């Protein structure tokens, strides 16, 4: 399994290098308070990375955090009455 993950990581790095090499055009990004200079390939890769990070944060905030809170409540409830079955338990 580690080998597969390593190979996938190498493939992604190689794809990033290819995208960067095939898009060397200069790009200027105006953010309002500053202007960033770079190449199109690097800008595309940074935008992809920012999107992946933003998606992960939204997923964590909307799914993972509520599920952890629910699990914490269930564990506290089960610790308070360990031998007592609760409604809805199978």
Name the 3-class secondary structure at 83.
coil
Q: Is residue 85 part of a domain?
A: no
Q: Domain range holding 39?
A: 17-79
- Does pTM top 0.85 for this prediction? no
Residue 3 confidence (pLDDT): 93
- The model's pLDDT over 33-64, given as tens digits with 9 standing for 90+, comes to 999 899 998 888 888 899 999 999 999 999 98
Q: Is residue 11 part of a domain?
A: no
β-sheet bridge partners, residue 39: 26
Decide: 63 and 47 in contact? Cβ < 8 Å: no
Q: Is residue 89 part of a domain?
A: no
Q: Please, is 44 exposed, middle or buried when counting C-beta atoms within 10 Å of its C-beta (0-12, 13-18, 19+)?
A: middle
Neighbour count for residue 3 (Cβ, 10 Å): 7
Q: Is residue 90 part of a domain?
A: no
Residue 88, pLDDT > 90, answer: no
């Amino acid at each position: 399994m580690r080998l597969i993950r390593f190979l996938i990581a190498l493939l992604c790095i190689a794809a990033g290098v290819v995208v960067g090499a095939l898009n060397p055009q200069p790009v200027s990004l105006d953010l309002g308070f500053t202007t960033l200079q770079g190449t199109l390939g690097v800008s595309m890769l940074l935008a992809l990375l920012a999107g992946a990070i933003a998606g992960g944060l939204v997923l964590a905030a909307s799914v993972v955090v509520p599920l952890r809170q629910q699990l914490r409540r269930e564990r506290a409830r089960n610790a308070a009455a360990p031998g007592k079955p609760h409604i809805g338990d199978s």
